[in-house]
Structure 1
Amino acid sequence: MSAPRRLVAVITAGLLAVSLTACATSERDAGGAAGGTMVFGAAGAPKNFDPIFNDDGESFRPARQMYDTLITYKAGTTELEPGLATSWTSTPDGKQWTFALRPGVKFHDGTDFNAAAVCANFDRWFTMKGAAAQSQMIYYGDVFEGFAKNEGDASGSPVYKNCQARDANTAVLNLNKFKGAFPAAFGLTSLSISSPTALKQYNADAVTQSGDSFTYPAYANEHPTGTGPFRFESFDKANGTITLARNDQYWGEKAKLDKLIFKIIPDENARKQELAAGTIDGYDLPSPADYGTLKDAGNQVLVRKPFSLLYVGINPKNNPALKDLRVRQAIAYAINRDALVKTKMPEGTQVATQFMPDTVAGYAPDVTTYPYDPNKAKQLLAQAGQQNLTLNFYYPTEVTRPYMPNPADLFAAMSADLAAVGIKINPVARPWNGGYKDDVQKAGKQDLHMLGWTGDYNDAGNFVGTFFGRPKAEFGQNDPAMYAELAKADSIPDPAGHTAAYQQANRDIMAKFLPAVPILTTGPAVVVKGNIQGLVPSPLTDERFLTVSKGEQQ
């Protein structure tokens, strides 16, 4: 159980009710924008507000409004553009990156953003102490692979070497080896730049663990301090609302809204009802079946380009039968992915043949595939002597994700497919941020589970490297050959060689290792009322609200 946390309570219940339904105007010097408050329906609660300790979209959504990264992504695309760095260069071997930083930028606490602050953040991540804290730094582990001193399950050799503040506006990052993720990974929300003063003042690194639960410090819960266009005002857990206020000292174009409220509504149907009632102005992940109805009611359904993947993970740790490749192949043949795509997902969704969309360099068109074939699945189970196999299949509740708009429906369909080939399924439902992710990703309690990924940047390593580049409790087995193959692909600076190596890795993952079953790739939608302008749907689900304005509802 998490320790009690002192939450900032800035808005009273009466004021909240007004803010959720009304659009106030204000007199301000922000380019003549209309101001007001937008309320957006979020599909789940954030874990906390310190980006380095997060790896899910519902935590990243508010963080992206409060923080900036060195490099960012052009709205609506995966293309890179300047963020806190106006330009960046690397040495030919990719081991040194030099960033020219924006002058005059301030953190929300009034302190200066400069090269020393950049280095303080990278050094903080590298020298993070404690197994609990390191275990929560999922993206850091995937990108930088190791710490100054690895603790707990961390075991990789660090990519990061050091950071030098050449002058106030020049930061130089030195790496121990080339990493194919860069420069794109410098735009990861997890690698957002925090105020070093606030990090120290609010004891930002004090993550503790009790059993499978984690408790985060005051910085992560009450005092997130970045340079972004919105600043943190409050998180009212009782009402499930996160309130952000415009940062009038923002270095770039000022946000057009006075306030931005994220209202946590895990149930998709409830989000739809609140939009119709006018208590929210938009929400993420509408049901594909509702697109037409939402449009007919005067709303805008903004469909993202496909960049998300759903998979069924396989964990042999608790059930030795799953170590047999034939059993894993049987599971793949048993699932009717075509039916899932046609009946449960929006138009444009595709059956996944491997663990990345076909738009990513490294996608291999000639991998081993597992078309729906229940008879083949039964034959493989018989050959493996597993005709009476029983599996604990975990699925999440209280959440909608881009790659699984209704987890319960998808689980029901896939578990029925598995049962039809003779696999008995024990369903285990757990709340997304109330046990599911920790059970699956930290403790590895499951035999099978549903999970997925929305790509952060356009590189194969962000998909297969993130999933299978190192040992993880989620997949419950050690495959040194697979890790070595992915590491080799990631280490090749030549773009053509880089792509070819990842294509071969994809072939081997699907034919030799099969640590999971790729299910589908999709591009989910976001819906907003007709009077909301300026929200650009992102294939990375990296929507920024500083460009959003709210007019009169027709």
Structure 2
Amino acid sequence: MTRSSLRRPRRLTAATLAITASMLLASCANSESNRGAGESADSGSTLEIGMVNEQTEPGTPNKGGTLTFSGFSSVTTLDPAKSQVAGAVGGSELGAIYDSLMRYDPIEKTFVPQLAQSLDPSSDSKTWTLKLRDGVKFSDGTTLDSKAVVDSINRYVNNKGPQSSLWAAKVASMDAPDASTVIFNLIDPWTGIQSMLSTGPGMIVAPTAQQGDQFTPIGAGAFTLEKFTPNEELLLAARPDYHGGAPNIDKLKLISIVGAQPTAEALKTGGIDAAYMRTLTPILDLIESGYPGFIDIPSLGYIANVNMAEGRPGSDLRVRQAMALAIDPETLNTRVNNGKGLPGQEIFQDTSRWHNDVAPIGVDPAKAKELLDQAKADGYDGKVTFLSIQEPSSQATALAVQAMLNAVGFDVQIEYVTSASDVTKRVLVDHDYDMGTGALSLSEADPFERLYTNLKTGGRNNATGYSDPQMDVLLDELGVATTDEDKKTVLAEIQQRATDTVPWQIWGNVPTLDVWNKNVHGLQQSIDGIMFFDEAWKE
């Protein structure tokens, strides 16, 4: 039997907003287009969600060796309760140590058991029953049983892990009627528990991991810790007693190379074997060069946040509307990506399975000027500050936004800071900004969680201060929708409400790429760009 058949029978982090220099790409431009509502920018990109440069069946896996993976950002903690677990932020690294109860199959667009044997809902989706696989052990030799699952999730919630508030709002209680069964009793119908159990809450830490204030990364994944230097290197060793069989590779070396282009060059020269990328130009180059991988296109990948606090320009809906009508995503795409990017004002572009036909706000500088003049007549002076990282691509974005807004009557000043973490602190923690570029990166698997935490009145990650009772109702309706059809219906209403109330300035999407060398095989994808390495091997 193969391993595949065995497997299948308010803490704020920089990752929450995913503000990165690599996605702030634009050139200074004046927009002369005049597209009305419903006429969104056309993408010159041929990118689609799915595998690229698929490999032929490679034959019998080789054994041994070290696989080196470059993540998007350096790993700073090995505790799933202290990290936003996603492909861009330690998700693959932590998954190697802990595995996850469930996994999202992005090809089949469904959740499948990983450490679990099954996860089944009741007819009303208010009770979910998890069955664990037999014989799964933590790396310290203790058994992964139902009590360990319940205790680990409770620890995650008590430690206020990034997804803990939503979990607490949705899950009334957990029962462990026997050693292999966990029953989740929900407050309302909810399918998002599958997503949760594929990320941080589903990465189960061993009972022995926490001893007082001391935490040791002990999980049930395919690898164990050999060396960890925060922000530099994580070296893992294969577990011969992994429940799916010993991994093919002996060692897994996890690093983070600063900059997308150097990462791509390292892949080409063999300095690394695999990487997670989210910058368009090197992504397109690697695809055109024949490198195999998986393209994902999270929604709301390229947006601007506008502070709506009292006294800020964005507190006036007319100002936010004027900004959206003045800034042309197609101009940004043409100047930056030679027309090959993914511009648009929709929440869900046509690359997404959640796409709908509701018209976005459109681009109309004349109307923008009219709205801005109305706001000025009521006392607004037209001044707005744009927060930007002081590096070339971000500076170009800032200048382009400044030019298009000034063209309709705004007076935009650019304020530069030195790093993405500075932007994150100003936007998410201090709320000390007028306008700044960011991203929500909504997962195709389940967009509810990030929409809820970013749009809901008082939400944990609501960086703009947006508050709209009608949107709150729609978010609650999305949370209890249990079929894709029902979710799409509510998401269309959310798009319409977003068109009316402008919670963000939407400029397009940024693709991500899980990519590897042609001599690498067996990598598996999960939710949000997370990869698993237990079946990986090198020719």
Give the TM-score, by structure 2 length: 0.78
378-387 or 158-167, which deviates more: 378-387
* Contact kept in structure 2, 1:363 and 1:460, CA below 8 Å: no
Equivalent residue number for residue 499 of structure 2: 510
Unmatched 5+ stretches in structure 1: 1-30, 147-157, 204-217, 399-404
Cross-structure match for 1:524: 512
What amino acid is aligned across from residue 35 of structure 1 in structure 2? G
Kindly provide the amino acid, as one letter, of the partner of residue 233 in structure 1.
Answer: E
- Hey, what does 2:446 align to over in structure 1? 459
What RMSD, in angstroms, separates the aligned Cα atoms of the two structures? 3.1
Contact 1:315 1:444 in 2 (8 A): yes
Report the more deviating stretch, 71-80 or 224-233. Answer: 71-80
Instruction: Check 1:357–1:226 CA distance in 2 against 1; reply closer, same or farther (3 A cut).
Output: farther
Q: Distance in 1 between matches of 2:533 and 2:81?
A: 21
Paired residue secondary structure (1:66): helix
CA distance in 2, matches of 1:406, 1:196: 46
Are 2:426 and 2:432, in contact at CA under 8 Å, matched by a contact in 1?
yes
Task: Render the CA deviation track for 1:232-259: whole Å, top value 9, x for unaligned.
Answer: 2222247x22212212221114322211
Q: Which amino acid aligns with 2:203?
A: S
Partner letter of residue 48 of structure 1?
A: T
Q: 2:119 is paired with a residue of what secondary structure?
A: strand
C-alpha separation in 2, matches of 1:450 and 1:518: 10
Where 1:441 maps in the other structure, the secondary structure is helix
**Highest relative contact order (Cα 8 Å, sep 6+), 1 or 2?**
2
Query: Paired residue for 2:467?
Result: 478
> What is the match of residue 114 of structure 1?
145
Q: Does 1:46 align with 2:75?
A: yes
* Equivalent of 2:361 in 369, 380, 405: 369
SS at match of 1:266: coil
Aligned twin of 2:327? 335
Stretch of structure 1 that moved more, 342-351 or 76-85: 342-351
Q: How does 1:175-190 map to 2 (within 5 A)?
A: 175-190=186-201
Taking the aligned partners of 1:475 and 1:286, their CA distance within structure 2 comes to 24
CA shift for structure 1 position 47 = 4.0
Pairing 1:446–2:433 present? yes
- 1:37 correspondence with 2:28: no
**Alignment-mate amino acid for residue 304 of structure 1:** I
- Cα separation, 2, equivalents of 1:397 and 1:115: 49
> 243-252 or 459-468: which moved more?
459-468
> By how many angstroms is 1:98 displaced?
0.8
Partners of 1:68 and 1:226 within 8 A in 2: yes
Identity %: 23
Name the amino acid aligned to 2:523. L
- The 10-residue stretch of structure 1 (276-285 or 42-51) with the greater mean CA deviation from structure 2: 276-285
Task: Structure 2: give runs of 5+ residues left out of the alignment.
Answer: 1-59
SS of 1:540 mapped into structure 2: helix
- TM-aligned CA deviation for residue 291 of structure 1: 5.4
Alpha-carbon distance, 1:447 to partner: 1.8
Contact 1:52 1:191 in 2 (8 A): no
- Would you say the 8 A contact 1:304–1:538 is kept in 2? no
- Report if aligned partners of 1:37, 1:257 keep a CA contact under 8 Å in 2: yes
- Structure 1, 99-108 or 176-185: larger mean CA deviation: 176-185
2:211 to 201, 209, 214: 201
Question: What CA deviation, in whole Å up to 9, does each residue of 1:482-540 have, x standing for no partner?
Answer: 222211332244654443233212211221x2111222124333443332233356673
Is residue 147–residue 176 contact of structure 2 (8 Å, CA) maintained in 1? Answer: yes
Are the aligned partners of 2:91 and 2:199 in contact in 1 as well (CA < 8 Å)?
no
Alignment of 1:146-225 (within 5 A): 146=168, 158-198=169-209, 200-201=210-211, 203=213, 218-219=214-215, 223-225=216-218
- Could you tell me how far 1:478 is from its partner in structure 2? 3.2
Matches of residues 316-355 of structure 1 in structure 2 within 5 Å? 316-317=308-309, 319-345=311-337, 349-355=341-347
| CA distance in structure 1 between the aligned counterparts of 2:287 and 2:491, rounded to whole angstroms | 41
Q: Are the aligned partners of 1:387 and 1:423 in contact in 2 as well (CA < 8 Å)?
A: no
Asked if 1 retains the 8 angstrom alpha-carbon contact of 2:153 and 2:201, the reply is no
* Aligned-residue offset at 1:73: 1.6
Question: CA separation in 1, counterparts of 2:339 and 2:224?
Answer: 37
Structure 1 CA distance for aligned equivalents of residues 395 and 138 of structure 2: 42
228, 240, 244: which one aligns with 1:235: 228
Letter paired with 1:424: V
**CA-to-partner distance for each residue in 1:395-442, whole Å, 9 max, x for gaps?**
4579xxxxxx9655544433443344333132333533x443333223
Aligned counterpart, 2:371:
380
Question: Residue 340 of structure 1: SS of its match in structure 2?
Answer: helix
Which of 264, 273, 294 aligns to 1:281? It is: 273
Offset at residue 166 of structure 1 (A): 0.9
Question: Can you list the C-alpha shifts for 1:332-365, whole angstroms capped at 9, x where unaligned?
Answer: 1222211333443598743333323446565431
Q: Are 2:529 and 1:541 equivalent residues in the alignment?
A: yes
Amino acid at match of 2:537: S
Alpha-carbon distance in structure 2 between the residues aligned to 1:178 and 1:349: 38
Shift of 1:180: 4.2
**TM-score, normalising length from structure 1?**
0.76
> Does structure 2 conserve the Cα–Cα contact (< 8 Å) formed by 1:99 and 1:170?
yes
Residue 290 of structure 1, CA deviation: 4.0
Structure 1 residues 481 and 109: CA distance shift in structure 2, 3 A: same
Residues 457/306 of structure 1: CA separation in 2 closer, same or farther (3 Å cut): closer
Q: Specify which of 87, 93, 113 is matched with residue 82 of structure 1.
A: 113
